Chain A
Amino acid sequence: MNRVLPILTVVAAIVVLWYGAAVAMNRAWVLDQAARAGTEPPAFGQMVVATMTQERPVLPAPHQVVAELWKGVAGQAITSKRSLVYHGWITLSATLLGFAIGTAAGIALAVGIVHNRAMDMSVLPWAIASQTIPILAIAPMFIVVMNSMGVQGLVPKAIISAYLSFFPVVVGMVKGLRAPDAMQLDLLRTYNAGGAAVLGKLRLPASMPYLFASLKVGAAAALVGAIVGELPTGAVAGLGARLLSGSYYGQTIQIWAALFAAAIVAAGLVAVIGLVERVTLRRMGMAR
């Protein structure tokens, strides 16, 4: 209860502020409608109701978003093009594939950086530079180029997703693989241990806490990558497509529902990684 109460308090405060903002921002449309119809503007009570029942509000009220979310998740068959489960899965599958590629690439690069002086001097600046390029600018070009080569659908999105998610893994794993101190490395030297033994028996186990911290950041980045990768495909499928088509047709409630669906997916991914982290570290005797 001690942990739940503060969270609930914050959530309640956000909901109150949100309703207030919805009334203030949607009021103009109600007043405009009344002026056009030549009637008196409604009284306060009716005004509040009118700001929360619009089809295309500037800011949808929380219950409208929740209703849309519920309709999208439970209101139809999950194979329907209007189902958020359908779109969510398309985005999630690209996210998971991209996350796997990005994590593998990140770990491989980190191992290379720690073991090879040339890579140590050259890779990280490029990795940092890669993250300063706006992904929104690159993604459409990448999708178009891949499409002209006959590759479309899941793979291009997964690659964009991997492009965003490898970076935190590289940075975290370089730090983690270098976590063992000089004494621990000297100890292995006295055993005349080779590079593979140092990596397998010391560096990799020592880097586990760093890896999980990176994975949590990487998973969220991978989801962003997958959504961005869905924008230039012309709103075919996925949460990104749902966001795009919502903005084409001014379906603000649909946009907000898709946003929340994405946030829920991200939270789920991070929670799963947290669970794996707890189990792994406990098995390794490293749980705090």
Chain B
Amino acid sequence: MKDTINLGQPVIAAQGLNLVFQTNDGPVHALKDVDLTIGKGEFVSFIGPSGCGKTTFLRCIAALEHPTGGSLTVNGMTPDEARRKRAYGYVFQAAGLYPWRTIAGNIKLPLEIMGFPRAEQEARVERVLDLVDLKGFGKKFPWQLSGGMQQRASIARALAFDADILLMDEPFGALDEIVRDRLNEELLKLWARTGKTIGFVTHSIPEAVYLSTKIVVMSPRPGRITDVIDSPLPRERPLDIRDTPEFIAIAHRVREGLRAGHSYD
């Protein structure tokens, strides 16, 4: 990992961020006065009940939603500029692989759109397949793979074009706990190997505590941040770290934060 923990260099910076959706039932405050700075190489989890704006915030970073107030920069640019510069890879809750493309074909999709030379496409596909431990599955079609393997392929797709930021919206939410544990472990290894900045939306407290260097606790109506926890856990994390007192203490603080958020309604 060497010393990539450099918090003086914000990759994502939000100040007084607001997002109001106009709906038929009146305005909905999806994000209210969100302030957050994410440094290079950090692993930041967003946790909170549904409607707290965690996914909305991630989508703002990706320029898939547009804030109605405040400022947000990604790599020092507006989110739209960052999107055009292909600054991030996005992993959705569903793998969303094209059924008519093989796994290798799916990973090539962003590379084709971005105009990488053909030979380089092949090399990159091989590299990221190796990175997510799917070597040899390139010629399979998505339906021939399990749900966990499909989600790994979709992570490989997001990694293929070397974006520095990886945005993940409940990527393991639809998987069973055993598969999820393994993928969490692999994701940490991948993060250590690549040094990417990761934004990770989840509604699982153990997952958030296990993965993150920073946990952002959010609550709904209006969507806002109630607590930001910098994790004291070491970057090297075996699965059984979850039984240590430090881990349990952080999980407790997250739970308290979530409860405090709920006392509003």
A78 at interface by CB-CB < 8 Å: no
User: A155-203: which residues lie under 8 A (CB-CB) from chain B?
Assistant: 183-184, 186-193, 197, 201-202
> What is the CA–CA distance of A202 and B110 in the complex, to the nearest angstrom?
12
Instruction: Assess the B86–A191 pair: CB atoms within 8 A.
Output: yes
| Any B CB within 8 A of the CB of A276 | no
Residue of A nearest to B141 (CB): A285
Known: A183-B96, A190-B62. A201 touches B109 (CB 8 A): yes
**What residues on B are CB-neighbors of A285 within 8 Å?**
99-102, 141, 143
Closest Cβ–Cβ distance, residue A281 to chain B (whole Å): 9
Q: Counting CB contacts under 8 A, is B57 at the interface?
A: no
User: Is the CB of A284 closer than 8 A to any CB of chain B?
Assistant: yes
Q: How large is the interface on A (under 10, 10 to 19, 20 to 34, 35 or more residues)?
A: 10 to 19
| A286 beta carbon closer than 8 Å to chain B | yes
Q: Are B96 and A284 in contact (CB under 8 A)?
A: no
Number of A-B contacts (CB under 8 A): 52
Chain A residues with Cβ under 8 A from B110's Cβ?
191
Residues of B within 8 A of A191 (CB): 86, 109-110, 113-114, 161
Assess whether A274 is interfacial by the CB under 8 Å rule: no
Decide: A186 and B86 in contact? CB cutoff 8 A.
Answer: no
Known A285-B99, A285-B100, A286-B100: A190·B88 in contact at CB below 8 Å: yes
**B113 partner residues in chain A, CB cutoff 8 A:** 188, 191-193, 197, 201
Verify if B83 is at the interface (C-beta below 8 Å from A).
yes
Cα A189 to Cα B66 in complex, Å, equals: 14
Residue of B nearest to A283 (CB): B100
Known: A192-B86, A197-B113. A184 touches B96 (CB 8 A): yes
Is there an interface contact between B100 and A187, defined as CB atoms closer than 8 Å?
Answer: no
B92 interface neighbour in A187, A193, A286, Cβ under 8 Å: A187
A112 at the interface (CB under 8 A from B): no
Identify which of A193, A208, A284, A285 gathers the most chain B CB atoms within 10 Å of its CB. Answer: A285
Which chain B residues border A183 with CB–CB below 8 Å?
92-94, 96
- Which among A183, A187, A286 has the greatest number of chain B C-beta atoms within 10 A? A187
Quick check: is B199 within 8 A (CB to CB) of the other chain?
Answer: no
Chain A residue at smallest Cβ distance from B144? A285
Residues of A within 8 A of B94 (CB): 183
B89 at the interface (CB under 8 A from A): yes
Interface positions, chain B 202-245, Cβ under 8 Å from A, are none
A3 to B84 alpha-carbon distance, docked (Å)? 56
In the complex, A205 has a CB within 8 A of chain B: yes
CA distance A202 to B88 in the complex (A): 21
- Residue of A190, A192, A197, A284 near B89 (CB, 8 A) is A190
Interface flag for B200 (CB, 8 Å): no
Whole-angstrom distance between the Cβ of B226 and the nearest chain A Cβ = 27
Separation of A201 and B106 alpha carbons in the complex (Å): 10
Known: A191-B86, A206-B100. 19 other contacts (CB 8 A): A183-B93, A183-B94, A184-B96, A187-B90, A187-B96, A189-B83, A190-B83, A191-B110, A192-B113, A202-B98, A206-B98, A284-B99, A284-B100, A285-B99, A285-B100, A285-B102, A285-B141, A285-B143, A286-B99
Chain A contacts to B: CB under 8 angstroms: 183-184, 186-193, 197, 201-202, 205-206, 208, 284-286
